[in-house]
Amino acid sequence: MIDKKMNYQKAWAFLDNLQFFKIKLGLDSMTMFLDELGNPQKDLKFIHIAGTNGKGSVGVTLLTILARAGYQVGFYTSPHLSSVRERFRINDTYISEDEFAEEATRIGNILDGRQITYFEFTTALALLWFARKNVDIVILETGLGGRLDATNVVTPLVSIITNVSMDHEAYLGDTLSEVAAEKAGIIKPGVPVVSGVGLDPTDKKGEVLKVISNTCHEKGTPLYLLNDDFYAEEEKNTWAYWSLKRKGGCMMREKISGLETGLIGDYQRGNAALALATLDLLTAEKFCVSEDDIREGLKEVRWPGRLEYACISQEKLSLIDCSDGNARRFLLDGAHNPAGVQSLKKALLEEIDYDKLILVWGAMADKDIPNTLPDIAELANNIILTRPEGERSAEPEQMLSILPGNYADHTICISLIPDALKKSAEMAGPSDLICVAGSLYLVGETRRILLGELVTN
């Protein structure tokens, strides 16, 4: 039995203890538990997002545009960079410590000693908070896979599958078809699906598109594909969105030109197009946004830790004006799987100017380090291998052994992240770039050191 009324620190500690329970995929316990909580999801409207990469970018784009249009929008995402409160957001406001403690106490008292996973707990907490706040719509991001993910207890207005590539093989399968089938598990009969699948060059046989298309056909679900039913078209210094043609909604558009996104990376145009196609479909549900909401909202989108650029003082490791001669340029990116690293690599090669690249890399031991680290390391003039906190983190020396022998002369191992960042700043000049990547845990710790906490009140 837990305290009848926990404060925030006790609630967070209670949640952290749940990490000792192994990941458990399945919906039976989640469904029964939500029934005990009064099924808060029944009174909410949802956009449900699955995919290997890009879920957060698509979600925060939808959040920003819908909020700008005047809607109260709940956003549930994972993992967090620093504070668990980052997972729960309504428009620009994160859940307060008191609200977190209140909902956690309610969940803990109903559990009454029974086991539940960390992700089941946070999902239930999100649904309770959004229902209490009576939001207009919730953007719900899957944690792992889709079919058996704890979020897959809702029937959304629109489902989104951003893309599918190999990741979490221990849970989702050893082939693209198996992973795609797990992601396709969020598809519901008659609920439209917006997707960017079919564009991944690693899917040479078109396995993913076949699985998603067949699932939609079997369930009588309309499927709208990027570069087939809607488009993101590059223009001079901007881009254009060719939209879905919908009838019966509150607005129809064919093309919006001159768009700019607030996120670095040309792949973000595709993510933005997924969000805009979803908004096209939502017009049938009377969620209306103006062209001005779209234009200005896209410019305002921010997603910390994903190709996030900052100028940092060499001496104090704190934010500084980029024009200062003591400034060192940092790029933080949570790329941790082969597809994410390819996107990061493309941005480094095509979109960001620098003289020398210093790579600060840390990863979880269960990630595909042999197919990620060497790929990005070939761009680096110097490499610093470090270690995020946590039992799952790979040791720097272990990662060094994976690199080809010719990397040894420009690679060093520094386990403590503050020391690794200090060393990278000493090695870099004003026109060089320090790229911190390999794990969102590493990026979260780095961001806290360099920029402070994302959630401050």
Number of C-beta neighbours around residue 305 at 10 A: 23
| pLDDT of the residue at 266 | 87
pLDDT digits (tens, 9 = 90+) for 299-345: 999 999 999 999 999 999 999 999 999 999 999 999 888 888 999 99
Q: For strand 193-195 and strand 93-94, is the pairing parallel, antiparallel, or unpaired?
A: unpaired
- Stated as kind and residue range, the H or E segment containing 74 is strand 73-76
The dihedral through the CA atoms of 163, 301, 63, 307 has a sign that is: positive
Rounded to whole angstroms, the Cα distance separating 32 from 389 reads: 34
Rounded to whole angstroms, the Cα distance separating 1 from 108 reads: 8
Exposed/middle/buried for residue 237 (C-beta within 10 Å: 0-12, 13-18, 19+): exposed
CB contact at 8 A, 29 and 250: no
Q: Which residues sit opposite 233 in a β-bridge?
A: 240
- Stated as kind and residue range, the H or E segment containing 167 is none
- CATH 3.40.630.30: does it fit domain 308-451? no
- Radius of gyration for the alpha carbons in the chain, expressed in angstroms and rounded: 22
Cα maximum dimension of the chain: 64
CB contact at 8 A, 308 and 321: no
Question: What's the distance, CA 393 to chain centroid?
Answer: 20
Question: Which tokens is 108 given?
Answer: 């803990």
| Regions of the chain short of the pLDDT cut 70 | 1-4, 20-26, 167-173, 201-202, 204, 245-253
Helices and strands: H and E segment counts in the chain: 15, 17
Rounded to whole angstroms, the Cα distance separating 134 from 397 reads: 50
Task: Give alpha helix (H) positions in 198-253.
Answer: 207-218
CA geometry: angle 448, 453, 457, nearest 5 deg: 165
Which has the closest alpha carbon to 372: 172, 198, 165, 175?
A: 165
CB contact at 8 A, 89 and 201: no
Peptide bond into 79 cis (omega under 30): yes
Q: Starting from the edge strand earliest in sequence, which strands make up the sheet with 255-259, in order? A: 231-235, 238-242, 255-259
- Stated as kind and residue range, the H or E segment containing 150 is none
Dihedral angle computed from the Cα positions of residues 272, 276, 278 and 282, in that order, rounded to the nearest 10 degrees: 150
- Tokens 């803990």 appear where? 108
Rounded to whole angstroms, the Cα distance separating 74 from 273 reads: 21
CB contact at 8 A, 293 and 396: no
CB contact at 8 A, 150 and 116: no
Q: For strand 88-90 and strand 193-195, is the pairing parallel, antiparallel, or unpaired?
A: unpaired
Give CATH 3.40.1190.10 domain extents, the chain: 8-300
Q: Which CATH class is domain 8-300?
A: alpha beta
Which has the closest alpha carbon to 260: 299, 291, 289, 303?
A: 299
Give CATH 3.90.190.20 domain extents, the chain: 308-451
pTM above 0.85, yes or no: yes
- Tokens 């109260």 appear where? 72
